[in-house]
Each structure stands twice: as C-alpha cells, then as structure tokens.
C-alpha cells in the first residue's frame, strides 16, 4: 500500500466533452477515495495540443460537479501535488526523460517524418509488423552531438529490451505477460518538448502519490510500457484496475455516437437526473453482493469495492436509464422537482428568468399532477405548458367531438359546463367533481362524454392528469375562456 494511503485520480484529456465512460471512471475513482478516506484528484492531461478543445475543461468540471463528484485536489481545488494541468508540468517530464537518456534507458531519435513514413511503407510492403526500426538506438555520443549541433529536431524514445517478456498486473485480471517483441521503442518526449501520454501519466501518478489507477480497458495495452517506465525510473507501480467497455444497447459492438447521447452534457440537457445517471453508471461495470438496484451516492460508497468490478463488457441500455430516471423523479419533493424543472421551462420560454416567487409557487403546486407522468425533465414543458400559457392553440374539432356526437351537441355540452361553473366560488377539485357529475346526470350523458371534451378544450390534449385536479389548478378564468374558445371552434366548422 502506498505510504500516503488511497489516492485516486481521474485524468481526462480535454479533447472533448465528458463522455459517460469517463463519468463512470470518475465515479469509481470517487467511490474508492470516499470509501477509504482517501483523496480524489482531478488531473487534466492536456499534452495533445492538436486535439485540444477549449471549453472541454469547463465541461469536465461542471459535469463532475453536476454528478456530485467533487475532487479534493485539482483545478480550482489546488493541492500540494500540483500543478494539475500537465501542460504546466513540462519541465518535470523533460527532466525525467533526460534522466533516462543519461542512464542509457532512452535515446534521442532524429528520424524525420519522411524517413518514418518510408520505413512504414517498407514494413507494409514486406508484411512486417509496424513499429520503429530502432535506427537511432545505435547512434554514438559523437553522432548525437553532431545532430544536436546541426539544430536537428529530435524525440526521446524508450529503449525496450530486445528480448524477453514483461509481467504486469491488473487487480481484476491478475498477472499478464507481454513479449518485448510486441513493443517498439516508443516515444516518451515529443520534438516540441511535450511528453507523450505514457511518460506524463507515469511521472504524474508517481509524483502525485497515486495508489490506484482506474481507467478504461482500452488502456490495458499501455500497461507493459507503463511498467517498463516504472522499472526504469526505479518506482513502485500503483495498482491498476481496468474497467469493462460499454457495448451498444443491442450488444453488437462498442457504444458510439451512432447510438445516441454519449456525453454527460447531452444526458443533462435531455433531462436525466444526476442521481439516475450515477446509479445507472454504478451498475454498469460493478455489482453489489446482493441484488440491490437503487443506490444513493452514500449507499454506493458503503457498498462499493474494487473486487466486484466486472471484466466482461456491459451493455448500455437506455431503457434502464429511463427507468432509473422515473424512479428518481418520483422520489423528489414537489419543491425539488419544480427547482429541477425550472431551467427547462425557462429554456422553452414558459417561465421567466428569474422566476418570481408566486410563479414558482404555482409550479410547485403543479408538480404532484405530473410527477408520475414524466420520465425526463425535458418533458415538463409538454406536461405543464397549458397551465403556464395564458392561451392555448384552439383544439381540433375532431378531438373535441369524440366518436358519437356532433359538433353542435358538443358545443351545447360545453356551454352547459360554462353555465354550471360560472357561479361557483369554491373552484376546488372535490366541488368541481360534484358539479360536473351532477351535470352529466342531468344531461343524461355518461361521465366520459362530458369529461373528454372539457379535458380537450382546456388542455388541447387527450392524455392529462385527472380532470378535476387539473381544472382546479388551471383556475376558473382560464377554464371558462378555453371552453368558450372551443365552442367557437365547434360552431365555426
């Protein structure tokens, strides 16, 4: 065990917005840190300047915060092991690369891109495995000096032993053996002075005292290189845990953009709750000792253990995520749900920003009517739009009339409803129910024959919350105006 206790890092490259695969890694990192009283570190691996996306760092930070996974050290948080942006640590990587060259474990390579391209073509034509042919490995000190004096560009390559095997270890898969013959002399420092991922990752994991590296399975192939670097630098490697890949919902291949949203930001914009996404990701690669399916973050901390992380690929099922979302939406209090829905309603222009307290209070009142009906927060505008708008589009006559009646009969029914409710002072749910049931009886109609046209007239929709509660929530003035509008529509046709 590391002398500093458990220290885990999430090390995204800001080459794009936070992916759900990255979010799962961050979640498992965070859980292990919390469970063990250790630290969760956010490190930005921004050494690939060509693929740098300027607002990616902001997206990564805000997505982690939204998911409820704050970091103990890293950007904004600071910490003794900083800086936490690799682009601010270049001198460190250069120093270690130089140390390795001096120790005879790495070397300068002056091969031009043209030569490397030619080499690649030659290997391809001869059906040989691709990889650097070690051309510069044999350069003498004098030759190196000559190239340097001529101002030639160089990279630093690691000297992989020419024969033999290396044993590496993953906490879930155990020992694995790789033949050196499968590795070429990989670059550790690029010609612009930036490190490659391999060097930067090893140097930082060591200097930051990382005890556990949790990352996606796609990095397993890097393990032999990382172990070689640890050995060459005389450092103890951390424990490595590689997470299973996500398969598409049909289980036929890797999850990709083709299958819909893959960025945390997209899930957020669609109206998934962070609680649901976290619960979903928790069980996408880890399983508890029992068959518990619902976990708050605290419960997840309690239950989590590295040993229960799976090594077989996991299918990404949106249906499951939707199921979780419905559950977590129903768990919220009306106030909380209204607060979560507010940005969506503001986005859709249904409520002002800032939202005045009386309008927010009205929104809270609507929540119990729709809480069971929405699966995504983004559905809220459709679900409560007719409450919040002063007016609605006049409904289609066909929707109002129903199967048996005529336009005029329906207009008469709605007219009777207006007459029955106009004098009413108690516009409460129960009172409205009494009045409308009595009216249906007096007009010799089945309740549905009266309720349906009223429902459509006041909402424009056929599927709505219970009629009486919705009438009460709409209020008398809107109800009467909309009934009148429907009558006009019916008599016009």
Which residues of this protein are in contact with ligand GLU, per CB under 6 A? 11-13, 45, 201, 213, 215, 219
Q: Is the CB of 196 or the CB of 325 nearer to ligand GLU?
A: 196
For residues 163 and 113, what is the distance between their CA atoms, to the nearest angstrom?
27
Q: How far is the CB of 80 from ligand GLU (least distance, A)?
A: 21
Please compute, for residue 420, the number of CA atoms within 13 A of its CA located in the half-sphere on the CB side: 22
Residues 6+ apart with CB under 8 A from 396: none
Question: What is the number of helices (H) and of strands (E) in the chain?
Answer: 20, 11
Shortest CB 10 distance to ligand GLU, Å: 8
Alpha carbon distance 240, 167 (integer Å): 13
Q: Which is nearer to ligand GLU, 13 or 410 (CB)?
A: 13
Name the one residue in this structure whose structure tokens are 């909309």: 482
CB count within 10 Å of CB 492 equals: 9
Q: Does 252 participate in catalysis according to the annotation?
A: no
Which residues are within 8 A (CB) of 306 and not within 5 positions of it... i.e. 6 or more apart? 32, 171, 172, 212, 241
Question: Exactly one of 95, 121, 153, 257 is catalytic; which is it?
Answer: 257
* Integer Cα distance of 197 and 9 in angstroms: 15
Q: Which is nearer to ligand GLU, 172 or 412 (CB)?
A: 172
Give me the least distance between CB of 197 and ligand GLU, in Å please.
Answer: 6
Whether 229 and 106 have beta carbons less than 8 Å apart is answered as no
The strand ranges marked E within 217-273 are 239-243, 246-247
To ligand GLU, the closest distance from the beta carbon of 11 in angstroms equals 4
- Residue whose entry in the numeric block shows the structure tokens 């891109």: 113
Distance from C-alpha of 221 to C-alpha of 199, rounded to nearest angstrom: 15
Cα angle for residues 456, 457, 459 (degrees, 5° grid): 65
Q: What are phi and psi of 247, to 5 degrees?
A: -95, 160
How crowded is residue 195: how many other Cβ atoms within 10 Å of its Cβ? 26
Query: Cα–Cα distance between 274 and 289 in angstroms, integer?
Result: 24
3-state secondary structure of 81: coil
Q: What's the min distance (Å) between Cβ of 84 and ligand GLU?
A: 13
User: Which residue is at the shortest CB distance from ligand GLU?
Assistant: 215
Smallest separation (angstroms) from ligand GLU to the CB of 355 = 39
Question: Minimum distance from CB of 12 to ligand GLU (Å)?
Answer: 5
User: Based on C-alpha coordinates, what's the Rg of the chain?
Assistant: 32
Residues with active-site annotation: 257
């Amino acid at each position: 065990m590391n002398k500093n206790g458990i220290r885990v890092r999430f090390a995204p490259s800001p080459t794009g917005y936070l992916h759900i695969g990255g979010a799962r890694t961050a979640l498992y990192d965070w859980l292990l840190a919390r469970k063990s009283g250790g630290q969760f570190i956010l490190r930005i691996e921004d050494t690939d300047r060509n693929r740098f996306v300027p607002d990616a760092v902001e997206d990564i930070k805000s997505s982690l915060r939204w998911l409820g996974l704050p970091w103990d050290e890293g950007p904004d948080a600071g910490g003794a092991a900083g800086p936490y942006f690799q682009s601010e640590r270049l001198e460190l990587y250069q120093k270690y690369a130089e140390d390795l060259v001096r120790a005879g474990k790495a070397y300068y390579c002056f091969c031009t891109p043209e030569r490397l391209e030619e080499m690649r073509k030659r290997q391809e034509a001869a059906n040989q495995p691709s990889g650097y042919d070690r051309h510069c490995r044999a350069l003498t000190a004098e030759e190196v000096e000559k190239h340097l004096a001529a101002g030639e560009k160089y990279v630093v390559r690691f000297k992989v032993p020419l024969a033999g095997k290396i044993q590496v270890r993953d906490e879930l898969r155990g020992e694995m053996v790789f033949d050196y013959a499968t590795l070429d002399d990989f670059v550790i420092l690029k010609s612009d002075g930036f490190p490659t991922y391999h060097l930067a990752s090893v140097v930082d994991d060591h200097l930051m005292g990382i005890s556990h590296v949790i990352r996606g399975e796609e990095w397993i192939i890097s393990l032999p290189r990382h172990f070689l670097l640890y050995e060459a630098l005389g450092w103890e490697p951390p424990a490595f845990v590689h997470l299973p890949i996500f398969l598409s919902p049909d289980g036929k291949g890797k999850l990709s953009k083709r299958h819909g949203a893959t960025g945390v930001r997209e899930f957020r914009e669609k109206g998934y709750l962070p609680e649901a996404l976290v619960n979903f990701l928790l069980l996408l690669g880890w399983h508890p000792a029992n068959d518990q399916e619902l976990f708050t973050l605290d419960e997840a901390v309690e239950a989590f253990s590295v040993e229960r992380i799976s090594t077989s690929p996991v299918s990404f099922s949106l249906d499951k995520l939707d199921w979780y979302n419905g559950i977590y939406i129903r768990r919220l209090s009306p106030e909380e749900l209204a607060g979560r829905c507010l940005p969506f309603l503001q986005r859709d222009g249904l409520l002002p920003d800032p939202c005045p307290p009386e309008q927010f209070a009205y929104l809270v009142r609507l929540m119990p009517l729709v809480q069971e009906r929405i699966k995504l927060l983004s559905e809220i505008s459709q679900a409560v739009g007719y409450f919040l708008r002063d007016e609605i589009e006049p409904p289609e006559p066909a929707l109002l009339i129903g199967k048996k009646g005529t336009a005029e009969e329906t207009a008469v029914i709605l007219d009777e409803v207006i007459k029955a409710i106009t004098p009413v002072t108690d516009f409460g749910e129960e009172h409205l129910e009494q009045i409308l049931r009595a009216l249906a009886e007096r007009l010799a109609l089945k309740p549905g024959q009266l309720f349906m046209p009223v429902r459509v007239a006041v909402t424009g929709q056929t599927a709505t919350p219970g009629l009486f509660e919705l009438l009460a929530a709409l209020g008398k003035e809107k109800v009467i105006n909309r009934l009148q509008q429907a009558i006009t529509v019916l008599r016009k046709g």
